[in-house]
């Protein structure tokens, strides 16, 4: 069974940066995405990376978030710059079932959700 372990979250002030890490045991998918879920909100995707390194982001985080992958260790990262209070959420990684022609993850993921890592942006 694949286990996803997210780390790197914490408490930061608006405008600061943070980098999250996602380690997967048992399987390394070439299609990976980061998701987040704020309290009382639906889980939403915030970054996608496909084979070859092509990435995509929703407008809410575009130009501020950067997803990357360590092809040696299989770790997926999410660099978050210029963080805003609305970025406060628990962040998760997973492997989407696929993606659209617009590079948007389709519904559904391949693995059980991990514990996530909390990001709190507050002054």
So what's the pLDDT on residue 16? Answer: 98
> What local confidence, expressed as pLDDT, does residue 84 receive?
98
What are the tens digits of pLDDT across the range 74-119? 899 999 999 999 999 999 999 999 999 999 999 999 999 999 999 9
How far is residue 25's CA from residue 114's CA, in Å, rounded to a whole number?
11
Assess contact for 78 and 61: CB atoms under 8 A.
no
Residues 3-32 pLDDT 10s: 899 999 999 999 999 999 999 876 666 799
What does the pLDDT read at residue 74?
Answer: 82
The DSSP symbol for 4 reads E
pLDDT for 71: 73
Say how many C-beta atoms besides its own lie within 10 A of residue 49's C-beta. Answer: 23
Token pair, residue 84, equals 């805003």
């Amino acid at each position: 069974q694949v286990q996803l372990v997210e780390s790197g979250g914490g408490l930061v002030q608006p405008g600061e940066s943070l980098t999250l890490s996602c380690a997967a045991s048992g399987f390394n998918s070439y299609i990976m995405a980061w998701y987040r879920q704020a309290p009382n909100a639906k889980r939403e995707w915030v970054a996608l990376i496909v084979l070859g390194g092509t990435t995509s982001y929703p407008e809410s985080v575009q130009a501020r978030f950067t997803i990357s992958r360590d092809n040696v260790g299989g770790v997926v990262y999410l660099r978050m710059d210029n963080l805003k209070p609305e970025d406060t959420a628990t962040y998760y990684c997973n492997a989407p079932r696929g993606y659209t022609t617009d590079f948007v993850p389709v519904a559904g993921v391949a693995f059980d959700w991990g514990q996530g890592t909390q990001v709190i942006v507050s002054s």
